[in-house]
Amino acid sequence: MLSYAIRRMLILIPMLIVISFFIYSGLELMPGDAVSYMIDPEAAAEISPEKLDALRDSLGLNDPFVLRYVKWFGGVLKGNFGYSLSSGVPIRDIVFDRLPATLELSFIALILSTIFGSVLGFISAIRKGSIADNTLTIVGMLGVSVPQFVFGLVAILIFSLKLKWLPVGGRLMPEYVTYWDRFPHIIMPALVLAATMTAGVMRYSRSSMLDSMNKEYIKTARSKGLPEWRVNLVHGFRVALTPVIVLVGFRLPTLIGGAVVIEQIFQWPGIGNEFITAVRGQNFPLVMMIALFSVFAVLIASFLVDLFTAILDPRVKLG
């Protein structure tokens, strides 16, 4: 297991280099550059090409593509992630400023959706064909098919504007001191995000549980006279969780960029919004850093999924 883990971690390094190069190349293919985004189109008419060129020079945008990549990657190796081309703020500060907001939102949504999705899927499976199963199936389908922004806007309309129970958006306010002051702000975005994620987990959990309940080891457990709850929970549900874990594992990377819609609707100052702004503005040091985080998260998630699958399912051997 340890050698497997070390091997997987070592493979990450060349993968990160190759993927980062591809992302950098992709940015290069986009029309324009950071300067063309910074300058308003009307203002651009008044600025001499020489001045624009000097600005590009000062930001290092006139260097050849490969040289820029090497410079950037060299900086990353030294722990220097660069500066935002638009604001001049160190990338590290921006990422560490925005990332906690997104992780806070996404982790809560992930935990809620995993717990509720698994449990509801389990109930739906063991009550197959019942009213509860049919209701949950319909709710699950709705959850999967209705876009997040619809959920979000309806929630704002009901809970913020009509009932006035929760704030309409944002994360912090000047007068807040403790976490509990700002806790009301996260309830709605986290629940809306969790609701859409729960539906997927529930569908996976249900079908996996149904599949598991027809297996020989379940029949064996029953033949040993074990109580039904134990058969379902310990022998059925545990194995049925394997595909759910895979699903949840692969959702880990989306913790960084997967809540963009929710962030926009609820004015949540997360990294997702920052990423979109950075891509539009071709703020490549920031794009690269957020992208690297995402890539790293995908690779780590993939590794963790393998690890947990082996732990949960005795038939799986790591090698």
Partner 1 sequence: MSLINNAFPQYVNNNYFIGEKMEKLRVFFISCLLVTMAFSLWAGGQQEDKMESGTKIEGLNSNPLSDFRVRQAIAYAVDMDTIVETLLEGKALVADSMVPNGPWKTPGLNAYSYDPEMAKKLLKEADWDSNYTLDVVFYYGDQLTVDIMTAVQAYLSAVGLKMDFRKLEGDLGEQLWTNPSDPVNGPSYIKWDMAYAGSAALAMHEYYGKLPTNGSGNSHTPSDPEIDRLVAATKATANIADQQSAFFELQKYVNKNLPLIPLYYQQLFIYESTRVNRNGGAYGNAQYKYDWNILNWSVTPDASGKEVLYTNTAPVEFFQHPWFNPGIFMYSKVLFDSLLVADEALVAKEGQLASKFSVANDSMSISFTMNDAKWHDGSALTAGDVKWSVEYALQVPAIHSVFATTFKSLEGAQAFIDGSADGISGLVIEGNTITFNFAKLDPNMMLTFSQFPPLPKKYFETADPLQFQQNSFWQNPVGSGPYKVQEVQMNDYTVMVPFESYYGGTANIDEIVMYPSGENDGNVIKNASAGKLDYGFTKSVADVKSLEAMGNMRVTPVDIPYTRLFYVNKFPKP
Binding site for partner 1 (CB under 8 A): 30-33, 36, 38-47, 51-52, 54-55, 58-59, 83-89, 94, 97-98, 156, 160-161, 167-174, 267, 269, 273-274, 277
The CB-of-255 to partner 1 minimum distance in angstroms stands at: 19
Alpha carbon distance, N-terminus to C-terminus of the chain: 8
Nearer of residues 185 and 206 to partner 1, judged by Cβ = 185
The CB-of-103 to partner 1 minimum distance in angstroms stands at: 16
Using DSSP's 3-state secondary structure scheme, residue 17 falls into helix
| 243/247 Cα distance (integer angstroms) | 6
Query: In whole angstroms, how far apart are CA 288 and each of 16, 197, 234?
Result: 11, 27, 44
Nearest to 34, CA basis, from 288, 308, 283: 283
Neighbours of 38 (CB within 10 A): 17
Nearest to 267, CA basis, from 142, 198, 166, 119: 166
Nearer of residues 77 and 161 to partner 1, judged by Cβ = 161
The CB-of-259 to partner 1 minimum distance in angstroms stands at: 15
As given in the structure block, the two tokens for residue 301 are: 């998630």
Answer left, alpha or beta for residue 294, where phi above 0 means left and psi between -120 and 50 means alpha.
alpha
Nearer of residues 31 and 79 to partner 1, judged by Cβ = 31
Nearest to 314, CA basis, from 243, 210, 242, 225: 242
- Angle 311-315-319 from CA coordinates, rounded to 5°: 75
The CB-of-54 to partner 1 minimum distance in angstroms stands at: 6
The CB-of-229 to partner 1 minimum distance in angstroms stands at: 46
The CB-of-190 to partner 1 minimum distance in angstroms stands at: 17
Nearer of residues 36 and 207 to partner 1, judged by Cβ = 36
The CB-of-16 to partner 1 minimum distance in angstroms stands at: 27
The CB-of-149 to partner 1 minimum distance in angstroms stands at: 10
Nearer of residues 3 and 48 to partner 1, judged by Cβ = 48
Query: In whole angstroms, how far apart are CA 146 and each of 19, 110, 139, 205, 281?
Result: 33, 18, 10, 20, 31
| 170/158 Cα distance (integer angstroms) | 17
Nearer of residues 109 and 265 to partner 1, judged by Cβ = 265
Nearer of residues 143 and 167 to partner 1, judged by Cβ = 167
| 298/305 Cα distance (integer angstroms) | 10
Nearer of residues 107 and 176 to partner 1, judged by Cβ = 176
